[in-house]
Amino acid sequence: MQEDVQTVRQQRLTQESYHANIELLRMAWEREQRELLQWGHEVMLAPGDSATQPGSTVARTHLPTASTTTEMMERLAERNRAVMEERSKLRARRGLFFHAMEKEHADFVARQRETESCWVQICEQLLDLAAEEETASARQAAVGVEIAKMAAMRELMNHDKELFRARLEEMQEEAERLKRELQATLTQNAEHDALQQQIVAEQTALARKQHDLAIEQSRLETTGVAKVGKEKKKQRLHPAEKEPMRTGRPLSPGKTSLRSFIDVLQEVTDTDNIIAQRGKPHESQRLGREERSTLSHSIVPPSGGRSPSRLSSFVEATGKTGSSA
């Protein structure tokens, strides 16, 4: 492209120098023509002026001058024709040159347009390349950002893995601790169940003992009340025979204590009530059985029977009576 531009510039400079030379030649030829015309005019006017002067010498001297002038005019005419021919040739050459210049100018303009179109295409391609490069750089930046994000995510995942492992270890430790606690709780529950069963068994045994004691107490009370009623009846029916019965056979210590206990009960209770209770022994036994059937297996004593404290007080009273007897 630069070589073409240099060639066109050189051709233009050559054409300009050629046109300048032609213009200089034309100016020199015109100047020479003016000089020749001026000289011929002066020569043409010279015979008339000399004819006005008198004398034959002047006429004789002007004859060779006229022939010379004619020759000069012929030469001038020939030269003028030659100059005109040369001028026509120059005009033809100039026309051809102008035509060639116009053609070259048109070619130059066409080449320049092609060059400009090429430059435009090159610029467009450069712009496209710049856009593609910018897009590629943007993609590269995006890829770099994604790589950084992936690295950060990997770090986060590693951190999460570490936290998960630590949490897993903690949960395993917690599970082991919970297992131990569960085992201890199960052991405690088993012990508690065993203790509960033992307590239930003890309560059942205690309730049975209370039931047996209540039955024994009711039996003793019934027997004692019956004996007291009999003794009272005997005393009422046979008051004089009381002493011989005592003096006949000595009573055993148990009977003596029972006799003293009956006396104590007779003093405390009313005689009519004792007789009424003696009259209905089966009903009292039935009521005692119903109360004993409603006994619970708890430690609390039933409402129908005697409590251990009353039983103990009864035993203590019996012992005191026996000792006093």
Look at residues 81, 111, 127 and tell me which one is the last residue of a structural domain: 127
Chain centre distance of CA 130: 37
The whole-number pLDDT of residue 228 equals 75
The whole-number pLDDT of residue 281 equals 45
pLDDT in tens, 43-78: 667 654 444 444 444 444 444 445 566 676 677 667
Tell me if 194 is assigned to some domain: no
Relative orientation angle of helices 56-237 and 308-324, to the nearest 10 degrees:
30
CA angle 183, 184, 185 (to 5 degrees): 90
Tell me if 293 is assigned to some domain: yes
Tell me if 21 is assigned to some domain: yes
pLDDT in tens, 208-236: 888 888 888 888 888 877 777 777 777 77
pTM of the entire predicted model = 0.29
Look at residues 95, 127, 159 and tell me which one is the last residue of a structural domain: 127
Tell me if 94 is assigned to some domain: yes
Question: Which amino acid is residue 221, in one-letter code?
Answer: E
Quote the tokens at residue 252: 């055993």
The whole-number pLDDT of residue 115 equals 85
Question: Which amino acid is residue 116, in one-letter code?
Answer: E
- Distances 3 to 9, 12, 104, 123, 253 between C-alpha atoms, Å: 10, 14, 16, 21, 163
Instruction: Tell me which residues of the chain have a pLDDT lower than 50.
Output: 48-65, 240, 242-257, 268, 270-284, 287-288, 290-315, 317-325
The whole-number pLDDT of residue 141 equals 92
Residues 120 and 127: their CA atoms lie apart, in Å, by 10
Tell me if 299 is assigned to some domain: yes
Residues 226 and 123 in one domain: no
Residues 291 and 214: their CA atoms lie apart, in Å, by 10
Tell me if 198 is assigned to some domain: no
Tell me if 160 is assigned to some domain: no
Residues 15 and 228: their CA atoms lie apart, in Å, by 178
pLDDT in tens, 289-315: 544 444 444 434 444 444 444 444 444
Quote the tokens at residue 183: 């085992």
Domain that holds residue 276: 209-324
Residues 25 and 274: their CA atoms lie apart, in Å, by 189
Residues 34 and 269: their CA atoms lie apart, in Å, by 197
Tell me if 132 is assigned to some domain: no
Helix (H, G, I), strand (E, B) or coil at 280: coil
- The answer to whether 218 touches 288, Cβ cutoff 8 Å, is yes
Look at residues 127, 147, 169 and tell me which one is the last residue of a structural domain: 127
Q: State the total domains in the chain.
A: 2
Closest CA relative to residue 297, chosen from 165, 197, 147: 197
Give the torsion sign (CA, 117, 121, 122, 124).
positive
CB neighbours (10 Å) of residue 71? 10
- The answer to whether 210 touches 305, Cβ cutoff 8 Å, is yes
3-state secondary structure 125-171: HHHHHHHHHHHHHHHHHHHHHHHHHHHHHHHHHHHHHHHHHHHHHHH
